[in-house]
Structure 1
């Protein structure tokens, strides 16, 4: 059923999500471009299937003509996913946070 597990860099925040059929994408926001890996890729997941466990924080930032909500680990700052209000059914989950399929 395409359910995957993931976690932040320090392991404090864990999550699970179910992938959407769309392919991998890349974010063009300033934060993603200025990271150590500016080609950070994301997979599309159904936002209503994202389950977070552990400390996390949300904030809304501007990108182009819209606001994007981003979710980070509250301990290490790893960005876990982002959601655009115009397409709030889908979340952009950072590939580097995925640890594998749900067994």
Structure 2
């Protein structure tokens, strides 16, 4: 894709773009993502942080240990996720991408926390814990 990858919140107060291809597209079934999004699972599109620019002064952050979740301070739309344990990467929620159909998830993470009524027989790899190894090689 030659055009930048773009997205934003529901009201338009926060916009972002990435200049490079995503390095990661996946589903997450963890309880933390469910609570942060209000959905039974989340889907993310990951970029290196230095490839991303964010516009709009309304971006707010919630930090919980090494995890930072961003959201629009006007409309409350969840925007992104970052984890200090995995380096300078940012993961945007698939639903805030301008063209979400372009980003097909390639795997599932935290399937041990998957809700019992969620059935996704897509044949994708399923990880008991994270789908993104930490720099030390662990998946904690």
Q: Could you say which TM-score interval applies, normalised by the shorter chain? A: 0.7 to 0.9
Whether the aligned pair in 1 keeps the contact of 2:62 and 2:68 (CA below 8 Å) is yes
Aligned length: 96
Of the three residues 60, 63, 67, the one matched with 2:63 is: 60
**Normalising to structure 2: TM-score of the pair?**
0.59
Higher relative contact order (CA 8 A, sep 6+): 1
**Normalising to structure 1: TM-score of the pair?**
0.77
User: Who is 2:76 aligned against?
Assistant: 77
CA distance in 2 between counterparts of 1:20 and 1:99 reads 14
Unaligned runs of 5+ in 1: none
CA distance in 1 between counterparts of 2:96 and 2:13 reads 12
CA distance in 1 between counterparts of 2:29 and 2:68 reads 13
* Bigger shift: residues 53-62 or 91-100: 53-62
Deviations along 1:13-72, one digit per CA (max 9) or x if unpaired, are 111123433332426242x2134422220011111122111111122114xxxx201111
The residue correspondences of 1:1-103 to structure 2 (distance < 5 A) are: 1=2, 3-17=4-18, 18-26=20-28, 28-30=30-32, 32-34=33-35, 35-54=37-56, 55-62=58-65, 67-100=66-99
Show structure 1 runs of 4+ deviating over 4 A.
none
* Bigger shift: residues 38-47 or 15-24: 15-24
CA distance in 2 between counterparts of 1:23 and 1:87 reads 15
Cα RMSD over matched residues? 2.2
Unaligned runs of 5+ in 2: 101-140
Larger radius of gyration: 2
